[in-house]
Chain A
Amino acid sequence: MARNGTVSKRTPPFLWSTFSSIKLTIFLLILVAVTSILGTLIPQQESAMKVVQSLSPSLVGFLDSLHLFDMYHSWWFRLIIGALALNLIVCSLDRFSSTLKRFRFTPSATREKPFENLPSEQRFLLQASFDSVTNHVGTLLKSKYKNVKRVDKEKTAFYFVQKGRLSHFGVYLVHFSVLLILLGGFAGSLFGFEAFVNILEGEGVDTVTLRKTRALKPLPFSVRCDKFSVEFYPNGTPKEYRSDLVFFKDGRIAFQSPLRVNHPITFEGITFYQSSYGTLPGNRVRLSLKREDTGDNAFVEAEINQPFPLPGREGEGLITEIKSDFMRMGPAVRLEIQPVAGEKIQMWVFKNHSMIEERFPGIFEKFPKLNPASFKPYTFFLNGTEARYYTGLQVSRDPGVPLVWTGFVTIIVGLFITFFLSHRMIWIQVSRLEKGVNVALAGTSSKNSVGLSREIGRLIAQIRGTMDDIPSSC
């Protein structure tokens, strides 16, 4: 119904009445709540990938057909939210005209109905002249309320004041804010993007990976990470992650600033957040070479794909691959030896040589490819690989955010008005009697009747208090 609800002048009444029903609102609120629970029980998006493997294929197929692995972005969840939004709009429109009427309507000052069953303390006699009382009441009301209506009829002056008329609109402000926030979310999903990128220290990028599709997205500029650093507290928990970023536009430095967690950087409308970090092996390794015959040790610093001579000129060595974790046995490099004469020899050299030997005795002798002593007379050891930090950045653009922030502010204002302000109307009658001047106060309030009686109490005290000082001269 909601989808083909092209609003024509002849909207069938049942459609309007369905969506203007508060019962539907309560039903939809509960429905969103209940369906949301599903999404917190079933892992969503990326975390779903891990769980899927342990479930039966038919169950996975069933859950997937209901989009339950990404339910908050599924068509049916969006349909419920859409129905709620429509319900909100129709309900608000439906009730708006009567609210406007209540806002515009000014009741007559001579109304008697509010004075029915008046508590006795709200009616009292003053020993003063009629004019001094009306003067005083008039000034008092004028100092407290914007428009004071006065009607004189026979022996009575009728006053009417009101305040807080705008409080009738608080609830519309709340509903409008909810729509604004939903609209902001929608605008963000249409025109924004969420992506991530890992940048190696010292390197630059001009593309990022979109989270949803894993597609590469080019940036209209490039960004380089000059340095990544992580600080720790004495107990070992991380204190601060920091990437020194440089932004390049048309080949020139346009902006540079350190990026920290909770302190994002926005450049050309795209915002960068510090989100993770890691290390990758760099391009340089340190090897030590032990000669079996003489027992001499030699040290070599080698760079990947750059041949180096062996100390005794027996040939050339070449590092062709660097792994931070090879076959789950830690850092290793692939070393290629080209002897002066003869075939090339290849081997993997591990950093944790002695540890591996302990765990798998004889493994190096058994597999020549893993044996660092495959080229006589040397035994190769890997002393270390250069590690390079990379910084993991969240990169996103969300043009809906200003709408959402506006909605946040207005919803708070709206809730405050709705709950704590009320429309108060107060009638006062001042009548000339033989014994003196009779004053009566009555009021109504849209809510918070306690606040109204307090306000009337204050008025009574102020009218009586000052009048007692006036000498009764008539």
Chain B
Amino acid sequence: MLNSIILSYITFAYFFSFFFYLLMMVMHKEAFGRLATSITLAGFFGHTFAIVLRWIESYQLGIGRAPLSNLYESLIFFAWTMILLYIIVEWKTKNKSVGAFIAPIAFLTMAYASFSPAISSRIQPLIPALKSNWLIAHVITCFFGYAAFALAFALSMMFLLKKLDSPERKNLFLRIIPDSWLLDELSYQMVVIGFLFLTLGILTGSVWAYSAWGAYWQWDPKETWSLITWLVYAALLHSRMVRGWKGNKLATLSIIGFCCVIFTYLGVNYLPGLHSYAKS
């Protein structure tokens, strides 16, 4: 289908934006940064177009459903939300260095979706359990949450890298990373957004499970892992809001949290459970 062909090209667009963001940081040239931003924006528009096209194509196939219901579509949407949030962050902070850390994550996500032999990009009709409006609310909220956590993860990595910087060390790459306090604040804001969306995602999933299976919580591995992720970020927020933790400790918790996100999203597929349709 045309949409998946376009999406496989978008993969390369994100690779090039990663490449030029990196070049900007190593060479310290603004022009590369502007080029990287243009490529990212172009990629994002193409990405959006391809998702809409996939939706239209599903109607042309007589299936007619939102492109949010299997592993391929969720990866594509995950990358889309990451890039969207990143564009907002770049626009708000006027700093392009975050791009060098988030673009590779978006690129890998797209590459996994487009080129993994285990993932089918075909538009399949929905099985009865997935025919619910809660599906759309659940997937959108979850992936906005995951994307915000991905940004928090990138910012936390940058925070830890920035620690290596010092005035006598004339490293351009490290110098261009924003100040620690800004990274700390931004990463915290991303965790806040992620936490709100993850909560919404768990709740919508729970309401949906109640209408589909008759129980809002069944301790299925994916449910449990989403709760584990929620608890880790809840611990992070408490340690910051009440104990005033900042810096290294918080960055480490945010990285652990993102590992939980990845396990909730992909690792759980290797465990048995109700979310089996999200595997292929």
Contacts and interface: CB of A to CB of B under 8 A. Distances in A.
Given A40-B224, A240-B128, A412 B272 contact: no
A335 interface: no
Contacts of B243: 22-23, 26
A33 B228 contact: yes
Nearest to B230: A33
A331 B213 CA distance: 32
Interface in A333-348: none
A281 interface: no
Given A41-B271, A72-B219, A408 B203 contact: yes
Interface string B203-241: 100111011111111010100110110011011001101
A81 B258 CA distance: 24
Given A237-B127, A262-B128, A29 B212 contact: no
A264 B195 contact: no
Contact of B211 (A39, A262, A396, A398): A262
Contact of B216 (A44, A273, A404): A404
B245 to A, nearest CB: 10
B171 interface: no
A36 B234 contact: no
Contacts of A394: 213-215
Given A26-B239, A408-B203, A36 B196 contact: no
A36 B224 contact: yes
A238 interface: yes
A398 B221 CA distance: 22
Contact of B212 (A237, A238, A273): A273
B83 to A, nearest CB: 24
A116 B199 CA distance: 41
Contact of A419 (B192, B231, B234): B192
A415 interface: yes
A275 interface: yes
B128 A261 contact: yes
B195 A194 contact: no
Contact of A40 (B128, B199, B214, B268): B268
A37 B219 CA distance: 11
A396 B215 contact: yes
A395 B231 CA distance: 31
A339 to B, nearest CB: 52
A25 B238 contact: yes
Identify whether the interface residues of B are mostly helix, strand, loop, or mixed: helix
B132 interface: yes
A261 B131 contact: yes
Contacts of B129: 261-262
Contacts of B268: 40
Given A43-B272, A412-B203, A260 B225 contact: no
Interface in A403-428: 404-405, 408, 411-412, 415-416, 419
Given A43-B272, A233-B125, A261-B131, A401 B216 contact: yes
B125 A237 contact: yes
A241 B241 CA distance: 49
A79 interface: no
A238 B199 CA distance: 31
Contacts of A237: 124-125, 127
Contacts of A263: 211
Interface string A31-70: 0110011011101100100000000000000000000000
A267 B150 CA distance: 45
B219 A30 contact: no
Contacts of B207: 405, 408
A23 B243 CA distance: 9
A29 B236 CA distance: 10
A336 B279 CA distance: 51
Nearest to B225: A40
B88 interface: no
Chain B interface size, under 10 / 10 to 19 / 20 to 34 / 35 or more = 35 or more
Given A33-B228, A262-B129, A26 B238 contact: yes
A412 B272 CA distance: 30
A72 to B, nearest CB: 5
A235 interface: yes
A29 B219 contact: no
Contacts of B132: 262
Interface in B223-280: 224-225, 227-228, 231-232, 234-235, 238-239, 241-243, 268, 271-272
A22 B235 CA distance: 10
B200 interface: yes
A419 B192 CA distance: 7
Nearest to B203: A408
Interface in B112-131: 124-125, 127-129, 131
Given A237-B125, A261-B212, A262-B212, A36 B227 contact: yes
A406 B212 CA distance: 20
A411 B199 contact: yes
B125 A40 contact: no
Interface string A225-246: 0000000010101111100000
A43 B203 CA distance: 24
B128 A29 contact: no
B71 to A, nearest CB: 16
Nearest to B133: A262
A368 B216 CA distance: 55
B124 A415 contact: no
Interface in A144-178: 171
Given A29-B234, A33-B232, A36-B227, A415 B195 contact: yes
Contacts of B211: 262-264
Contacts of B215: 194, 394, 396, 398
Contacts of B196: 412, 415-416, 419
B237 to A, nearest CB: 9
Contacts of B192: 419
A240 B131 CA distance: 9
Given A44-B219, A262-B131, A401-B216, 11 more contacts: A23-B243, A29-B238, A32-B231, A33-B235, A36-B224, A36-B231, A37-B228, A237-B125, A239-B128, A262-B129, A395-B214
Interface of B: 124-125, 127-129, 131-132, 192, 195-196, 199-200, 203, 206-208, 210-217, 219, 221, 224-225, 227-228, 231-232, 234-235, 238-239, 241-243, 268, 271-272
12 contacts: A22-B243, A26-B235, A26-B243, A40-B224, A47-B272, A239-B125, A240-B131, A275-B214, A401-B210, A404-B216, A419-B192, A419-B195
List 4 A-B pairs, minimum CB-CB distance, nearest first: A261-B128, A273-B214, A40-B221, A394-B214
